[in-house]
Structure 1
């Protein structure tokens, strides 16, 4: 039976607490994180010259044989490029070339120097690059590829950086809900796609990059003004809140702040591999949908750019709402003692990763129908949001001091999956972009999802692992180790 724990006091002074401010900024940060990605997936539909546009668009100029200035169906003069399907998928996939390089270093760096700088500077520089995207496209195809690789390099460090911050700011029984802030990335996609669709339709595809880039710079300024790595470092935190957090979450002193990573024990730990494999499977499915849904909606379901942005956003909105609801439920069940942390993590992971696998099989049979296809995509991605109550924050349960490193390892694998998904779709559809080819994609997604769910249910755990506990120095006073998931042995 799990031990109960008092919930975090919601308000100390009648105004927002520092923890509440942190939650808001992390939520907005992850919304922006995906806004800086999906702007390209919606804009690329209009960036590429389509021969079918000859019926409705007038070619005004041709530059270097690769660029046309055309009249948009809504009379918007904009630049388009002669990029074929292979080049298009290369642009969608090259983001992950850089993304995969900084996952593990980003997580470990946040453990050592703090998430404030890692998350903040990465997002700021990525926002600046986003503003430069139209100029890079005008300079040539290779420049866009290079920019997307660097963008991935910067954003790759952001995700694993947040877990070390959670270990210093968020009490154990509130961590599922805090992790739901990461799923605000889906909310960011849900809002960005229709907004970018509207901007592109009325002002041209360049406006999508200018809008998201400016918002990103503004967020970074606010982040550095109000967020700090620990309660002890925050200059404006109340004494009451600081004392509560320091008692609930003992902070590392200067003398033993950073344990060396126990690589051998970590790499031989089944619960660690449960997180890595399951995350890789779940994100493979997610990235496939994120990167390819606008193209599928346009080329197979034949919706216009306006409808494309709105319809493509529905699954992401549902995912965030499910992430929030499931996290609140999981924390409540764990806090009350009705579910142990291990049981909660396995239950919610099985639901969040296994059920979308079944739905992808249904999609293979009914995905040609507009209503069925959108409904299945929306439901599958909505359900997947429950990973925040499952494996997503599990590194904080089993090894809080190395949660960034573990998540970095998991996201490294999933980043290869992100590149593989774009390569897979490109190879399957480059000659025949038909529903029959997309059926193969759906079957692959189904098998991947189901494998991930089975792995975590079999190998996952919620207990603090022995190798994750700092050794007691000779002569030092010994304290009882209290597992962060608050479970009795």
Structure 2
């Protein structure tokens, strides 16, 4: 009774927004904890001298072994093995994202999220048990965790499509920014746990969080407003009337032919690809540039490594509220959408292209990185919200497909950056080429959408009412 009274005091859809935020938070704890745990699991290698440090009193910087800390049992895994372990999640995530939409639309987003999160929690603790046996088992566990994670984001788009009134949609989408908090807190909590309790507990602590989340989610989340036990009639009518009959809970196979032959879908796909390309440059190439060229390891500084992500989180919510405010002021959704692309793609692309001007100045590089990532929080109004614009009924399917296609950039960017640095050397000219190309793709994809993109609900959003279909 207490939970019911509390839910009725606060609109039920706000509880759903909170669950979306916490889902992305939890999703990223299992996604990012390997990057903090793996260094504690392997025997330290040799410290590289950054290019900028070689030019200044180079005799003071000699190659030396990194001091070992007692963080638990260590394994002699070379760089290739470590790369495979770190990349295992993303291989699984890429594959899982493709069917994620249809799974959520068929069995419902609630059970998709709940079941996949429980499975990820079990597999997460299993990492600590299988790592001593063989790194291949750890790779398999991380791959399966990624597979579970890949199904969750399309399910969240499906949940947003069913719960969000159009005038509040970007606030719902802004809740997907819980992932940034998940990354930051995982790095902080994981580091502390590893220091005092050894690396196996860095996995188990995250799994404990997952157990608590699943209990809360199981009580508060439902597939749709019509199924929620505690929603008031007033709020239910408000959501249904605001959606104007565009959302149906009828089970239906997504209209794949119509989707893949839809030009608006492909403009969104290009927009999302450009955003993910830019993000992968920011989270893979930039830290490498700062460590191996400038000589400043941003990941070793808890505050500096977290600040760009936290800034993106808070600005993401700010942009979400601003987008909904402009819609209430009768601005057309397509105008809001295309205007915000300047912030989500164009400005970050320009800032990325400017990274090479930092040269050996770590302060300039940190400022550019922080500005680029934080302003990119406006994606909650652009490519993260556009799937629901095009088709509230099949937003999960759309998001799964564009995540699969865009996710390919996660493999291209590190390979391309490595090839450029290997070919032309670890110098300012090479890094300038990496950042210039990243900025060009970032901006180019944004400009393409500004010319050709749309926010109109597509004709294929309608679900065919055929015999044998049932409501969820």
Matches within 5 A, 1:208-247: 208-247=202-241
Map Cα deviations across residues 16-50 of structure 1 (whole Å, 9 max, x no partner).
Answer: 22211111111111111112111112233333322
1:163 Cα deviation from its structure 2 partner = 1.6
Map Cα deviations across residues 275-319 of structure 1 (whole Å, 9 max, x no partner).
Answer: 111112211222343356665555555557984333222211111
Q: Which residue of 2 aligns with 1:450?
A: 443
CA contact (8 A) 2:106 2:252 kept: no
Matches within 5 A, 1:60-459: 76-249=70-243, 257-291=250-284, 298-300=291-293, 302=295, 307-337=300-330, 339-366=331-358, 368-425=360-417, 427=419, 434=426, 436=428, 438-459=431-452
Cα distance between partner residues in 2 of 1:423 and 1:149: 20
Q: Which residue of 2 aligns with 1:468?
A: 461
Cα distance between partner residues in 2 of 1:428 and 1:83: 26
Cα distance between partner residues in 1 of 2:271 and 2:29: 25
Distance of aligned partners of 1:472 and 1:157 in 2 relative to their CA distance in 1, 3 Å threshold: closer
Bigger shift: 194-203 or 167-176?
Answer: 194-203
What stretches of structure 2 of length at least 5 have no aligned partner? 48-64, 467-472
Map Cα deviations across residues 229-261 of structure 1 (whole Å, 9 max, x no partner).
Answer: 01221122233323333333467999x813443
What stretches of structure 1 of length at least 5 have no aligned partner? 1-10, 54-70, 474-489
Query: Tell me, what secondary structure is at the counterpart of 1:112?
Result: helix
1:345 Cα deviation from its structure 2 partner = 0.9
1:196 Cα deviation from its structure 2 partner = 2.4
Cα distance between partner residues in 1 of 2:106 and 2:277: 29
Query: Tell me, what secondary structure is at the counterpart of 1:43?
Result: helix
Bigger shift: 244-253 or 41-50?
Answer: 244-253
TM-score (norm 1): 0.82
CA contact (8 A) 2:255 2:460 kept: yes
Query: Tell me, what secondary structure is at the counterpart of 1:103?
Result: helix
Cα distance between partner residues in 2 of 1:118 and 1:199: 30
Cα distance between partner residues in 2 of 1:422 and 1:247: 47
Query: Tell me, what secondary structure is at the counterpart of 2:336?
Result: helix
Distance of aligned partners of 1:28 and 1:159 in 2 relative to their CA distance in 1, 3 Å threshold: same
Query: Tell me, what secondary structure is at the counterpart of 2:396?
Result: helix
Query: Tell me, what secondary structure is at the counterpart of 2:229?
Result: coil
Query: Tell me, what secondary structure is at the counterpart of 2:74?
Result: strand
Query: Tell me, what secondary structure is at the counterpart of 1:462?
Result: coil
1:428 Cα deviation from its structure 2 partner = 5.3
1:104 Cα deviation from its structure 2 partner = 2.5
Query: Tell me, what secondary structure is at the counterpart of 2:9?
Result: coil
Map Cα deviations across residues 332-391 of structure 1 (whole Å, 9 max, x no partner).
Answer: 111111x21111111112321121111111112215322112211111111111010112
Distance of aligned partners of 1:402 and 1:14 in 2 relative to their CA distance in 1, 3 Å threshold: closer
Distance of aligned partners of 1:303 and 1:443 in 2 relative to their CA distance in 1, 3 Å threshold: same
Aligned Cα RMSD in Å? 2.9
1:465 Cα deviation from its structure 2 partner = 1.7
CA contact (8 A) 2:311 2:370 kept: yes
